[in-house]
Chains A and B, each alone.
Chain A
């Protein structure tokens, strides 16, 4: 079966100013050779800590950033190189929801205006039909029609994120990139948005790339999970496998650091040394080796993702 989305060797480097006329300018290797595939109906969780490049991956996929290299094949078409007009026509099929529900809304538009916008851009619906459709979409995300006349500042945080989701699903896309959609929300609101996302996925047959640093939420929503570190995927597996049998030392360290609301759960912590290095000076060989408590001389050799069990890929010499 061909996947809905196939990302192949995606790279995004941000060049820095040249240090001198004869010196080669350095660059921030934010995304440095990322590959994964996503089948229709699946949710892939993309996890990692700040600066690992997960949001840059998202932005390259929806082309709010132009990748430096690699392919993003969505439904048979390479989005990475698509020209403006063709890209614009495809946009109705893939949409994005961002972390900050307030900053991603236009403060001068009403809910009606904002949800109508994608319909105006991407569909032939006219006047009344379009307005009728807005009411339906609001209902789908659990917002009352009476909220349509409100402005963002008149909404609660949870309602704002629902408006963002409404905008994203307005054109009936097949694929949503969700970049930390629940991170800015309080406990009970977060739970409700997670449940809404799960419900919409089932009802509308959506495919998600769910980006988050919150591993517990990722576990709840994802079928498969990819772990990123310093611009590259270091482990990818089914959610069940990854959380039950994490293999890469980075994944193990990350999982062992997540606080669990049960005072009886005592876990063996795998503690990494220090903090992640700068993506300007990515270590040769294994990216984690400077911080990894298990590092061996062989870790200085380059390491690629390889399959250690069906569907379980790890980039570590020691696994």
Chain B
């Protein structure tokens, strides 16, 4: 099976006055059709930059310096800006963290969806209106006709996010990138939004790349997970495997750093902080924070090695991951 999205060694740099920020360093990632893949890591790990790179939305001073991003068999990095504009929104769409600021504050939400349907789905006025109302209803919004006429500030955060998801799926994209879609929402609302994402994803057949810092969210809805640290993807595996047999010290550290509702245990936070990407540590960027670090870890970047089918790790200390 060819994957829907195939990121290979994508590297993104930002040139600043202080130097070059190496935000993403050789990230490789696969998303299969209809799959939900989680991309997890702390702030500053490069998750959002990776997402923007997929949509080719990295703007100067940022630039994609290396790698390939194959979507449905074609390299997006070679596509023209016109082609990209057609792909964004209709084939790949995105939901952001702050739904209220992503919506236009001076246009009723219904009209915003209609506009999108006219551009990307080629519907006319009446058809777009009917479809917009149907989509709001599908996104779980009660009284869609009343809500469609309202402005974003008249809706709650949860409702705004429902509108964003409805819009993102309006043109039946094949890939939806959701960047922290539930951060800032209350737990019960967040749970509803995740249910909605999963259900709509399943119904429309769209694959979802879910960016989050919350391992609980990943365990709840993802099929596969990639863990990112300081711009590098350090581990990827099926969701079950990742939580039951995490291999990379960073993944293990993350799992030991979150207090849990379902069991009692003593937290052991990871040492240090995500390093500055202006002058990242050589070799494995996690080495300075890692209890298992050896001299070899700083000599060169650990290769990404499969330790089991579908489970790959970039760590010299992991048995079976050494070449």
Contact = CB atoms under 8 A, between A and B. Distances in A.
User: Do A and B come from the same complex?
Assistant: yes
Nearest to A266: B220
Contacts of A135: none
Interface stretch (A8-16, A144-152, A270-278, A311-319): A270-278
Contacts of A217: 259
Interface in B261-286: 261-262, 267-270, 273-274
B260 A49 contact: no
Interface residues of A, number: 37
B158 interface: yes
Interface string B49-92: 00000000000000000000000000000000000000000000
B240 to A, nearest CB: 5
Interface in B146-194: 156, 158-159, 186-192, 194
Interface string B126-144: 0000000000000000100
A49 B186 contact: yes
Contacts of B253: 188
Interface stretch (A61-69, A82-90, A121-129, A253-261): A253-261
Contacts of B42: 186-188
Interface stretch (B4-12, B199-207, B209-217): B209-217
Interface string A187-203: 11111101100000000
A191 B272 CA distance: 12
B290 interface: no
Contacts of B159: 275
Given A186-B42, A187-B254, A263-B240, A257 B187 contact: yes
B259 A220 contact: yes
B273 A187 contact: no
B254 to A, nearest CB: 6
A188 B187 contact: no
Given A188-B270, A188-B273, A261-B215, A255 B191 contact: no
B41 to A, nearest CB: 9
A219 B191 contact: no
A186 B213 CA distance: 8
B20 to A, nearest CB: 22
B43 interface: yes
A51 to B, nearest CB: 9
Contacts of A295: none
Interface in B229-281: 239-240, 243, 253-255, 257-262, 267-270, 273-274
28 contacts: A49-B189, A50-B186, A187-B213, A187-B254, A188-B42, A188-B254, A188-B270, A189-B273, A191-B259, A191-B270, A215-B261, A216-B258, A219-B261, A257-B188, A258-B216, A259-B191, A259-B194, A259-B216, A261-B218, A261-B243, A261-B260, A262-B219, A263-B239, A263-B243, A265-B219, A269-B191, A274-B142, A275-B158
Given A216-B261, A260-B216, 4 more contacts: A49-B187, A253-B188, A261-B218, A264-B243
Interface of A: 49-50, 156, 158, 186-192, 194-195, 213, 215-217, 219-220, 243, 253-255, 257-265, 269, 271-272, 274-275
